[in-house]
Amino acid sequence: MAGDGIQLGLSEAERHTDTSQRDREFELLDLRWDLLPGVFAPHNSRSTAAYTSWLPIPAGGTVLEMGCGAGVTAVYAALRGARAVVAADIAAAAVENTRVNAARHGVSDRVRAVRSDMFAEIGPEERFDLIFWNSSAIPAPESFVYTRDIEWSLFDRDYASHRAYLREAPRRLTEGGRLFLGFNTNGDVERLHRLCAEAGLRAVEARSMTTTYNDGATTTRFMLLELLPADSGG
C-alpha cells in the first residue's frame, strides 16, 4: 500500500511538472491565474477549487493558508472579504507565485506570502480566525528524500508535517477561530485520526467529493475536515 502511494505521488509529480501539459495561465473559480514553473498546478486537480469554495471565509477576519502553492485559496479568501491573509509555503516558487497572483487580482495589500516550513516563520503572536491546509496526504517513509519542490505538496515524510499542524495550529486560532484540513484517501485516513486523537482533536467531515482520474483507474475521495477539540460536543 505504501509503495503504491509513493508511485502514485511520483506520477502526480510528473503530471504537475510536465511542461508539455502546463500553461503559464489557467482558469479556476471563474478567474484567470498565473502558474510558475515547478508549482503544483491546481487546475489539474479538483481539490483546490472544491476546498476553496467550501471554506467559510470570515468576512473581515484573518486567514492563514498553509501550503499555499499558486495562491488560489489565499487570494480567493481576500477577494471574498478576508481582511488579512497569510499564505505560507516551504517552496520559494510557490511563495513567489502567490505574490504574483495577489498582485494580479489587486489584493497584495491583504495577502502576505511567506516562505515557511509549517509555522516556523509565522509570528508567535499572530492569531487567525481561520486556518487551512490542503495537506500533503501521501505518507512517505522516514528515509524518503525530497528531490523536487513539487514533492512537498504531495508527500509528508513520517507525517511529521501533519503532527506539526495538529500540534501548533490550534494555538494560533483566535477565540472562536476555526481549523480545517483538506485530506484525501491517497493518504492514511486511520493514521490521521490517530494523530488527531494524540493531539486532543477530532476530525469532523464538513464536505467531501469523490473523483476518478488516470482513465478511471484511480478513485480518490477528497474531504474537508474541521478539526475540533476532542472533548467538544456536536
pLDDT surpasses 80 at 214? no
Question: Grid coordinates in use for 26?
Answer: 489557467
Burial of 129 (0-12, 13-18, 19+ CB in 10 A): buried
CA atoms within 13 A on the CB side of 94: 28
Model pLDDT for residues 148-206, shown as the tens digit of each residue: 778 777 899 999 999 999 999 999 999 999 999 999 999 999 999 999 999 999 999 99
Evaluate if residue 20 carries a pLDDT over 90: no
Q: What was the pLDDT predicted at 6? A: 55
Q: Which of 26-30, 143-147, 211-215 has the highest mean pLDDT?
A: 26-30
* Per-residue confidence band for 218, with pLDDT thresholds at 50, 70 and 90: confident
* Interatomic CA distance for residues 110 and 87, integer angstroms: 10
- Does residue 53 come out as left (phi exceeding 0), alpha (psi in the -120 to 50 range) or beta? alpha
The domain defined by 2-229 folds into: Rossmann fold (3.40.50)
| 5 vs 89, more confident | 89
All cell numbers assigned to 129: 480566525
Write the single-letter amino acid at 220.
T
Q: What is the pLDDT of residue 3?
A: 47
Q: How confident is the model at residue 98, as a pLDDT?
A: 99
For residue 122, give the C-alpha cell.
509565522
Count CB atoms within 10 A of the CB of residue 52.
Answer: 23
Sign of the torsion angle spanned by Cα atoms 127, 129, 134, 135: positive
Beta pairing partners, 45: none
pLDDT (mean) for 24-49:
95
* Geometric angle at alpha carbon 47, from 117 and 100, rounded to 5°: 55
pLDDT of residue 172: 99
> Which band of pLDDT confidence, cut at 50, 70 and 90, is reported for residue 66?
very high
All structural domains of the chain with their residue ranges: 2-229
